[in-house]
Structure 1
Amino acid sequence: MARPGVPTPVRRGVAVVAVAGGALSLVGAAAPGPGAVTGTPQADPGPGAQPAALLLTTGTASSDATAAAPALVEQRTLAPVAPETEILDASALVKAVQLAEDQAAEAERKAAEAKAEAERKAAEAKKAAEVRAVSATTTAATGALGCGLSTASLGDVKPWVEQAAEFLGCLFGKPTMIGQASRGNASDHPSGLALDFMMRGATGDRLAECAVRNKDALGITYVIWKQRINFGSGWQPMEDRGSDTANHFDHVHVSFEKSAPGGRPTGC
């Protein structure tokens, strides 16, 4: 039965409507049947009626309409999908890089300090070994080795100062010796770089001369005895300090270099 207000040729045709993106589009036009009237329909379709071009007919099309209908072309609309963009935090990246650089610099600094400390200890051990070797050789040659002189009372003196104390003390009667000690005036005693050999007279004369003779081998800087001082180029007078002890009449004072010597002392 024909629907009122809709031309029969259009109702019998086949129309394909595609829905894409929320809009209707006509893919294949309806094929008019025999005797269809072309052009705008004269009759008003009336309220509630749909336009003929958008009408979908669910019934079976006639063979004539099917033969006359053009081939339907499938159309697909592909909408591009925007990729998700990951937004990087530039400040966090900069901080991470800076942290890595700081850690690398700190590790390099610690490695350099450890290397320098190891080199320093190795150098000190080498010098101490050289001093011991020189002392053993020279004391054996002069007969001073094994004299039983104790150096424990000298305090924290340098190794070469201790070896000089043993060398000179064994040669000259194992006198009382003073090593590291506090002083009110400028002195090498507090730093462990000085010795006092407590003696008087001829024995003091011989020990003072022997110390000057072995100045370079023992690492001596100067010797003070009987109000005189000798830097290796002869005895020079000193001012009167008011007492035998202050003027060095009751002991021979010997000061030493800050680094170990490299020579071999000779017997006196």
Structure 2
Amino acid sequence: MPSRVRRGAAVVAVAGGALSLVGAAAPDPATPTGAVDPADAGATTALRLTTDASAAEAAVPPLAEQRSLRPVAPATDVLDAAGLVKAVRLAERQAVAEAERKAAAQRAEAERKAAAAKAAAVTGSLGCTLSTAGLGPVKPWVADAAEFLGCLFGRPPMIGVASRGNASDHPSGHALDFMMRGAAGDRLAACALRNKEALGITYVIWKQRINYGSGWETMDDRGGETANHYDHVHISFATSAPGGRPAAC
């Protein structure tokens, strides 16, 4: 057991967690060997705590350096002004084209309905309903003229859309052939010319002659009865719907 140290007999220096005694310390004869003076116990405890605290402080590493963070703006695409203008102009052209297409379709439908109403008024007064389904996809006013003239002249066989070896209005749906001969053909050709404006007719061919509305003109011989139009009346029509109402002949 260590000897008791008399209070004030020695100076203790604490440096860097190590203890050093400064001066001499003599044992206290009044205190039995192995006993601890209560007054010195507190000092010893305080000394131990101070030493432990210093050691703990030395063991704690310095705080890590806190670096400031600078916000980074998100990446953005560079605006291509020329490309944007081009895209806008393209969209505008497409919108204009679509509007024009719709307007043209509406006009065509209105013209078709007007022509159908006009033809229905005439053929209705004749008490005639004639199907034009066999003519193919002829224009609406061509179908109306076929119904009008067909009802007037005994429903003759008719040809609408058809292929031709030479220049013709048949493939595009702008022509009709009324298969008839003689006086019946004469009357039908004359009636068609009388209603030329109302039916939208451009010319009539009959018996190797052509009439644009100002009289008959002789045509070249094409070498046959059908080619020279002796067995049918050919009627060609305009590319747009006519106006007016045809009159019975």
Instruction: Report the TM range for the smaller structure's normalisation.
Output: 0.5 to 0.7
Q: 1:173 aligns with which of 154, 160, 163?
A: 154
Q: How far does the alpha carbon of each residue in 1:71-120 deviate from its partner, in whole angstroms, 9 at most, with x for none? A: xxxxxxxxxxxxx9x99x99x5352x334323322322221122111111
Query: Given residue 93 of structure 1, which amino acid in structure 2 is its aligned partner?
Result: V
**TM-score scaled to structure 2, two decimals?**
0.67
Q: What secondary structure is seen at the aligned counterpart in 1 of 2:245? A: coil
- Superposed CA offset, 1:11-44 (max 9, x none): xxxxxxxxxxxxxxxxxxxxxxxxxxxxxxxxxx
The number of equivalent residue pairs is 180
Aligned-pair CA distance for 1:239 = 1.3
Deviation at 1:183, TM superposition (A): 0.1
- TM-score of the two chains, using structure 1 as the length reference: 0.63
Is contact 2:123-2:129 (8 Å) kept?
A: no
Query: Which residue of the other structure, out of 93, 97, 111, is the alignment partner of 1:113?
Result: 97
For 2:130 and 2:111, locate their aligned partners in 1 and report how far apart those are by CA, in whole Å. Answer: 23
Kept in 1, the 8 Å contact 2:163–2:171? The answer is yes
Question: 2: distance between equivalents of 1:242 and 1:116?
Answer: 47
Give me the whole-angstrom Cα distance separating, in 2, the residues matched to 1:226 and 1:238: 9
For residues 189-240 of structure 1, the C-alpha deviation after alignment (integer angstroms, 9 at most, x for no partner) is 0100000000111111100100010000000000011111111111111111
Supply the distance in 1 between the matched residues of 2:111 and 2:96 (Cα, whole angstroms).
23
Percent identical residues: 58
User: Does residue 161 of structure 2 align to residue 161 of structure 1?
Assistant: no
Q: Residues of 2 paired with 1:258 and 1:105: CA distance?
A: 33
Letter in 2 for 1:105: R
Q: 1:137 is matched by which residue type in structure 2?
A: A
The answer to whether 1:189 aligns with 2:170 is yes
Do structure 1's residue 217 and structure 2's residue 202 form an aligned pair?
no
Q: Which residue of 2 aligns with 1:134?
A: 118
The answer as to 2:109 corresponding to 1:125 is yes
1:259 partnered with 2:240: yes
* Structure 1 residue runs of 4 or more that deviate by more than 6 Å after TM superposition: none
Provide the C-alpha distance between the structure 1 equivalents of 2:166 and 2:242, rounded to a whole number of angstroms. Answer: 26
Structure 1 residues without counterparts, runs of 5 or longer: 1-83
Aligned to 1:93: 78
Structure 2: runs of 5+ lacking an equivalent? 1-69
